Amino acid sequence: MNSDLKQLLEKQQYRIVGNHSAVKICHWTKESIRERGFCYKQKFYGINSHRCLQMTPTVAWCNQSCVYCWRPIEKTIGVNMDDVEIDEPADIINGCIEAQRALLMGFKGREGINMKLFEEAMEPNQAAISLAGEPTLYPKLPGLIEEFHKRNFTTFLVTNGTNPEMLEKIPEPTNLYISVDSPVKADYLKIDRPMVKGTWEKLNKSLELLKSFKCRTVVRLTLMRDSLKNPEKFGKYIEKYAPDFIEAKAYMHVGFSKDRLEHEQMPTHEEIMQFAGEIENNTGYTLIDSKQESRVALLKLE
């Protein structure tokens, strides 16, 4: 990783770990230890936001360039890790925990901090493998998930679904997320802007694999305002793959996405709820929860 990219990421409060991994304290981890709220994942799935380790083993490696991404995707190093010296899972986890603790120390003693929650935050037990890049490009991902589980972590793996071969190898995470940004190939290509060929077909193969997992499976929809036009088509497309849950979440006009999209592309929570309601009306999914601050709705397969 070149020094300019490392400097850019560190300015954004990332901490680089080893050759290709990174950690960053989530907004909701900070809010939790201040007792100002918690992540929708805590509300939906019961994890503790203040004990979440938001990390990635592939901070600057991705095979897509999604238009809505808040990360600095223009600085992506590569679409694979063939030329990278690969770090071991245990070293990555140790480094991420150490870096997160160092970042959290800046909050110690501040007014409004719940010290009990702060001390618990120093001992994370939930890994969000989702911070940046595409984690399935890390060739030792099965070992990373296994190592987290040996340490009694829950694991939420978020993937763009373009590497079904890796999904066939991994031990089951606690939650397996696949991102779906359109039910139509032409629109998918415009939104996700893949940098390699055949990703639409690979996404569909990954979605077909969902039924083979016993863990919680989730299809995440990141929705720009232009994406809200066909909720019925979205619903029917996802229903055939039968994930346990659908998360319909608004695109947020933050970070580097502001250089690519106008603020008007960020839907309101009301629009997300209406979209989710249309999916409920046209599929076997039931709208069971939402979190207004995150502009997200949760549907469950009944």
Model confidence band, residue 108 (pLDDT cutoffs 50, 70, 90): confident
Which pTM was predicted?
Answer: 0.95
Q: What is the mean pLDDT of residues 123-133?
A: 95
pLDDT band per the 50, 70, 90 thresholds, residue 74: confident
pLDDT tens for each residue of 201-230:
999 999 999 999 999 999 999 999 999 998
Tens of pLDDT along 138-147? 999 999 999 9
Q: What are the DSSP calls for the chain, one per residue? A: --HHHHHHHHHTT-EEETTTEEE---HHHHHHHTTS---HHHHHH---GGGEEEEES-TTB-S---TT--S-GGG--BSS-TTS-PPPHHHHHHHHHHHHHHHHGGGTT-TT--HHHHHHHTS--EEEETSSS-GGGSTTHHHHHHHHHHTT-EEEEEE-S--HHHHTTSPP-SEEEEE---SSHHHHHHHH--SSTTHHHHHHHHHHHGGG--SEEEEEEEE-GGGGG-HHHHHHHHHTT--SEEEEEE----GGGGGTS-GGGS--HHHHHHHHHHHHHHSSEEEEEEEGGGTEEEEEE-
pLDDT tens by residue, 250-273: 999 998 999 999 999 999 999 999
pLDDT of residue 106: 84
Average pLDDT, the chain: 95
Lowest mean pLDDT among 1-10, 209-218, 234-243, 250-259: 1-10
pLDDT at residue 109, rounded to an integer: 74
Asked if residue 127 has pLDDT above 80, the reply is yes
Task: Judge whether residue 2 has pLDDT over 90.
Answer: no
Residue ranges and CATH numbers for the domains of the chain are: 3-301 (3.20.20.70)
Q: Could you tell me what percent of the chain has a pLDDT over 90?
A: 89
